[in-house]
Amino acid sequence: MDLQQLCQRVIEIARSAGDFIKHEAGNFDRSKIELKGFNNLVSYVDKQAEEQLVNDLRQALPEAGFITEEETATERGDTYNWVIDPLDGTTNFTHGLHHFAVSIGLMEGDEIVLGVIYNPMHNECFYATKGNGAYLNEKQIKVSEAPALKDSLIATGFPYYDFDLTQQYLQVLGAFMGTSHGVRRIGSAALDLAYVAAGRFEGFFEYNLNAWDVAAGAVIVQEAGGKLSKFTEGGDYIFGREIVASNSNIHSEMLQTIALHWKQLLS
């Protein structure tokens, strides 16, 4: 399989879905928001964008299965599976905050080999294929060279439905606030990972994530020279519901900071 050629097709598919989302963003009626659970929002935009993505990706790689947020398609492939979030940052979208993205990853077996993240409002498309580097709108990107946590800007996500770990989270957040240039929470894990790859953030951590939140971003970070793990070294950060991504230089410091306050969560 020519991953680079396939990636160009996936970029076209992501841009097409992004054009639909961008159009709807200008006319969105918040009365059409649905709740999948407490603070877990979904709209017709998420659903229609996912249907479009599934149809187009099925044509691009017929043998592949799907792992999708809105469960438009649930069949799994023997070798290849698309991992899709049609609108990562739905809450931002529904409030008119223009920070959200289409996220598409391709798994070969247990490995992510292709990732595309497209922010239609800023016309920024981040993408990578295994072994071929990471790019933003055709320009190669690399992670930051910041040598230490004290030189770094960190991204995270706040819990929005499971608040049992809030106090532990706040302790970790406070530790990062006191040992870095600051912490940002902008509401899209896919874009947080893309920004680590592009050197805008040095690190990102979050828990209670799903595979579609991180799959595309993981390969983009790796191909940009970054490092990923769970809250301890290694682990399944795609399906393990927690992730730490960094420019590699600060990874150990990030894990140590988390371990000081979330020992009961580490596995």
Q: Which pLDDT tens digit goes with each residue over 48-71?
A: 999 999 999 999 999 999 999 888
pLDDT at 113: 98
CATH of segment(s) 3-141 = 3.30.540.10
User: Looking at residues 106-119, what average pLDDT do you find?
Assistant: 98
Three-class SS state of 148: coil
Provide the residue ranges of all domains of the chain, joining segments of one domain with +.
3-141, 149-265
CA–CA separation, 93 and 85 (whole Å):
14
User: Looking at residues 25-46, what average pLDDT do you find?
Assistant: 65
User: Looking at residues 38-43, what average pLDDT do you find?
Assistant: 53
Q: Does 69 appear as a known binding residue?
A: yes
Cβ pair 185, 156 in contact under 8 A: yes
Q: Does 213 appear as a known binding residue?
A: yes
**What is the overall mean pLDDT for the chain?**
91
Predicted structure pTM score? 0.93
CATH 3.40.190.80 describes domain 149-265: yes
Q: Does 87 appear as a known binding residue?
A: yes
CA–CA separation, 11 and 244 (whole Å):
26
pLDDT at 161: 61
**β strands within 18-123, DSSP E:** 34-37, 40-42, 65-68, 80-88, 101-108, 111-119
pLDDT digits (tens, 9 = 90+) for 121-169: 999 999 999 999 999 999 999 999 999 999 999 999 987 666 677 888 8
Q: Does 61 appear as a known binding residue?
A: no
Q: Does 149 appear as a known binding residue?
A: no
